[in-house]
Amino acid sequence: MEHYVGIDVSLELSSVCVVDGRGKIVKEAKVASEPEALVYFFKELGFPVDRIGFEAGPLSQWLHAGLTQAGFEAVLLETRHVKAALSAMPVKTDRKDACGLAQLLRMERTGIRRVFVRETRWHLALAGP
Protein backbone atom coordinates (compact mmCIF):
# COMPACT_ATOMS: atom_id res chain seq x y z
CA MET A 1 0.00 0.00 0.00
CA GLU A 2 1.13 3.53 -0.70
CA HIS A 3 1.94 5.97 2.11
CA TYR A 4 2.13 9.75 1.94
CA VAL A 5 3.63 12.13 4.48
CA GLY A 6 2.77 15.74 5.23
CA ILE A 7 5.12 17.82 7.36
CA ASP A 8 4.19 21.14 8.94
CA VAL A 9 7.67 22.55 9.49
CA SER A 10 8.47 24.67 12.56
CA LEU A 11 11.81 25.83 13.91
CA GLU A 12 12.25 23.21 16.62
CA LEU A 13 9.63 20.48 16.18
CA SER A 14 7.71 19.63 13.03
CA SER A 15 4.30 17.95 12.94
CA VAL A 16 4.36 14.81 10.80
CA CYS A 17 1.31 12.95 9.50
CA VAL A 18 1.43 9.68 7.53
CA VAL A 19 -1.64 8.55 5.59
CA ASP A 20 -2.20 5.42 3.53
CA GLY A 21 -3.55 5.21 -0.01
CA ARG A 22 -7.15 5.33 1.25
CA GLY A 23 -6.54 8.48 3.30
CA LYS A 24 -6.51 6.81 6.73
CA ILE A 25 -4.08 8.36 9.21
CA VAL A 26 -1.45 5.74 10.01
CA LYS A 27 0.91 7.72 12.26
CA GLU A 28 1.22 11.21 13.70
CA ALA A 29 4.20 12.58 15.58
CA LYS A 30 6.28 15.61 16.49
CA VAL A 31 9.84 15.24 15.16
CA ALA A 32 12.86 17.52 15.44
CA SER A 33 13.10 19.83 12.41
CA GLU A 34 16.38 18.35 11.22
CA PRO A 35 16.96 16.10 8.19
CA GLU A 36 18.65 13.39 10.26
CA ALA A 37 15.77 13.16 12.75
CA LEU A 38 13.17 13.01 9.96
CA VAL A 39 15.12 10.36 8.02
CA TYR A 40 15.41 8.26 11.19
CA PHE A 41 11.67 8.62 11.84
CA PHE A 42 10.73 7.53 8.30
CA LYS A 43 13.11 4.56 8.32
CA GLU A 44 11.69 3.38 11.66
CA LEU A 45 8.09 3.36 10.38
CA GLY A 46 8.40 -0.21 9.12
CA PHE A 47 6.93 0.52 5.68
CA PRO A 48 8.08 2.53 2.67
CA VAL A 49 7.01 6.13 2.17
CA ASP A 50 6.02 7.07 -1.38
CA ARG A 51 6.12 10.85 -1.12
CA ILE A 52 6.88 13.48 1.50
CA GLY A 53 5.49 16.98 1.14
CA PHE A 54 5.84 20.27 2.95
CA GLU A 55 5.34 23.96 2.25
CA ALA A 56 8.16 26.06 0.90
CA GLY A 57 9.68 28.11 3.71
CA PRO A 58 12.91 29.08 5.48
CA LEU A 59 13.96 25.50 6.38
CA SER A 60 12.53 23.85 3.28
CA GLN A 61 15.59 23.64 1.05
CA TRP A 62 17.73 22.25 3.86
CA LEU A 63 15.15 19.60 4.75
CA HIS A 64 14.46 18.84 1.06
CA ALA A 65 18.17 18.28 0.40
CA GLY A 66 18.55 15.99 3.43
CA LEU A 67 15.50 13.90 2.59
CA THR A 68 16.33 13.51 -1.11
CA GLN A 69 19.94 12.58 -0.28
CA ALA A 70 18.52 9.86 1.97
CA GLY A 71 16.53 8.48 -0.99
CA PHE A 72 13.07 9.86 -0.26
CA GLU A 73 10.87 11.66 -2.78
CA ALA A 74 10.43 15.05 -1.16
CA VAL A 75 8.09 17.63 -2.66
CA LEU A 76 7.98 21.33 -1.83
CA LEU A 77 4.52 22.80 -2.26
CA GLU A 78 3.83 26.42 -3.14
CA THR A 79 2.66 28.23 0.00
CA ARG A 80 -0.22 30.24 -1.49
CA HIS A 81 -1.71 27.17 -3.17
CA VAL A 82 -1.51 25.14 0.04
CA LYS A 83 -3.10 27.96 2.03
CA ALA A 84 -6.00 28.11 -0.43
CA ALA A 85 -6.46 24.32 -0.39
CA LEU A 86 -6.42 24.09 3.41
CA SER A 87 -8.53 27.21 4.03
CA ALA A 88 -11.71 25.12 4.31
CA MET A 89 -10.52 23.69 7.63
CA PRO A 90 -12.39 25.48 10.43
CA VAL A 91 -9.60 24.91 12.97
CA LYS A 92 -5.98 25.24 11.91
CA THR A 93 -3.30 23.53 13.96
CA ASP A 94 0.15 22.24 13.00
CA ARG A 95 -1.15 18.68 13.34
CA LYS A 96 -4.13 19.29 11.05
CA ASP A 97 -1.97 21.16 8.53
CA ALA A 98 0.41 18.18 8.35
CA CYS A 99 -2.51 15.81 7.75
CA GLY A 100 -3.95 18.17 5.14
CA LEU A 101 -0.62 18.22 3.29
CA ALA A 102 -0.47 14.41 3.33
CA GLN A 103 -4.00 14.24 1.91
CA LEU A 104 -3.10 16.73 -0.84
CA LEU A 105 -0.19 14.54 -1.86
CA ARG A 106 -2.38 11.45 -1.81
CA MET A 107 -4.99 13.03 -4.05
CA GLU A 108 -2.38 14.41 -6.48
CA ARG A 109 -4.27 17.68 -6.71
CA THR A 110 -3.23 19.35 -9.94
CA GLY A 111 -4.06 22.78 -8.52
CA ILE A 112 -1.22 22.54 -6.02
CA ARG A 113 2.00 23.78 -7.54
CA ARG A 114 5.34 22.23 -6.71
CA VAL A 115 8.32 24.47 -6.07
CA PHE A 116 11.51 23.91 -8.06
CA VAL A 117 14.51 23.34 -5.80
CA ARG A 118 18.06 23.91 -7.00
CA GLU A 119 20.77 21.61 -5.76
CA THR A 120 22.62 22.66 -2.63
CA ARG A 121 25.88 22.74 -4.61
CA TRP A 122 24.41 25.53 -6.74
CA HIS A 123 23.69 27.63 -3.65
CA LEU A 124 27.17 27.00 -2.27
CA ALA A 125 28.72 28.07 -5.56
CA LEU A 126 26.80 31.36 -5.39
CA ALA A 127 27.95 31.96 -1.83
CA GLY A 128 31.60 31.72 -2.86
CA PRO A 129 34.58 30.63 -0.75
For 23-58, write each residue's pLDDT tens digit: 999 999 999 999 999 999 999 999 999 999 998 888
Map 1-27 to HEC letters. CCEEEEEECCCCEEEEEEEECCCCEEE
pTM, two decimal places: 0.82
The residue segments making up the domain with residue 92 are 3-127
In the predicted model, is pLDDT for residue 116 greater than 60? no
pLDDT at residue 110, rounded to an integer: 46
pLDDT digits (tens, 9 = 90+) for 13-23: 999 999 999 99
The domain that contains 58 carries what CATH number? 3.30.420.10
Q: How many domains does the chain have?
A: 1
* pLDDT value for 38: 97
* Residue that wins the pLDDT comparison between 5 and 55: 5
State yes or no: pLDDT of 122 exceeds 50.
no
Quickly count: other Cβ atoms within 10 Å of residue 12's Cβ: 8
DSSP-derived 3-state class of residue 77: strand
**Strand stretches in the chain, DSSP E:** 3-8, 13-20, 25-32, 51-55, 74-77
Q: pLDDT for 71-109, tens place per residue?
A: 999 988 888 888 888 888 888 899 999 999 999 888 875
Please give the helix or strand (H or E) that residue 103 lies within, else none.
helix 94-107
